[in-house]
Structure 1
Amino acid sequence: MFNEWLWGGFAIVNFAMILAIYKIFGKPGLFVWIGMSTVVANIQVLKTVELFGITATLGNIIYGTAFLATDILNEKYGKKDAKKAVWLGFFTLIAMTVMMQIALQFTPAESDTVQGSLVTLFSLVPKVALGSLAAYLISQYFDVWIFSKLKSKFPDDKYLWLRNNGSTMISQLLDSAVFCTIAFSGMPLNIWLEIFISTYVIKFIVSFLDTPFFYIAKKMKTTN
């Protein structure tokens, strides 16, 4: 159970840090967080761990915080700022990908000890890279759209949980479907379904766990 307890604590740390950056820096802090989280999530996702009896990727928590950040922006500042944040995250991910591919082409010095590790981390499998970019953009845009729809139909604060959970859980389902379809195309259906289901189960749990932090952010006063 060590991984499960550590994973729970890791989730709390991630959500607490997004509240901290929002409290200190306001709206700009959320923009910075989204850019950072898209990059870190695509590094952490390379590590697989055993959680709740299934094999899962590690990047799902910090990736989920990007959805929390866009929901906070949508709730407190509007749809326009949430969309801007989505594009910022997308550009950050592309910029990191391009820069690291160029960096890998440099011939390392004889004393270098990290080239092999960098190659392992940042060498792209084309379908996985395309799947990650497409899933991020499609699911995040859908999250902004469905959050706005839910907010217009259920504007009272008593429905905060519905706006947050409904938009994130559905958009995370779309994210998993797009990523798995592109990245694992041609894979036997039973294996594809196992990856898809296990990936979404973890994302669903993360979406549920971020609810109290969304409520705190809603009430939080910032200077920006």
Structure 2
Amino acid sequence: MPEFPLAVPTCFEQVADDLAAKGWSVQHDVFSEELVAALGQACRQMWHNDALTPAGIGQGSDLAVVPEIRGDYTRWLDECSPRACQSEYLQILEQLRETLNRSLFLGLDSFETHFALYPPGAGYSKHLDRFQNNPLRMVSVVAYLNQNWQPGDGGELRLHLKEGLVDVVPTGGTLVVFLSDRILHEVLEAHKERASLVGWFRRRPLNPLLR
């Protein structure tokens, strides 16, 4: 019997409909409290054990750590010790990938994801998720791991949309999905430790040298 019995959320068809209609979707209470707690504990344990590293901006030789622009600390999930909660999360996201491919014919081939922790005072300036010279990232996914997040704790994800600004509170269990090349977004300053899993569905490269 697995530690976290797999429960596939029923909102993924709505996510696909939202992406087709407007390019983004926010769904609440997607993950069980037990899964959110276990993933959040894993992220914060790595943070307090200095196992997360400062995130950079740019790519390749242009990668640089600039805390004034991006202040989170990260670790790729495939670099972490195996945990049942991480396996369940990946299985759930695989169901989302299959739903998006079936509904939207996006050709999503793989998923990459990392833990991210913003310490108090950190944020991330406005940006797009797709690199200019690498078009493989198609769909961005953020899962929040913050139980008991309160008004005034900050750390909202701000989406810059044609119709105006939308702020998403990083409450545990909330899932945000958006098109990587279309939705400008930023992370507002957090006032306490803010944990999440951030990932991207990628399409298979036409050029095998492009990764």
TM-score by length of structure 1 reads 0.25
Judging by fraction of residues, say which structure has more strand: 2
Which protein shows a greater Rg?
1
Judging by fraction of residues, say which structure has more helix: 1
TM-score by length of structure 2 reads 0.26
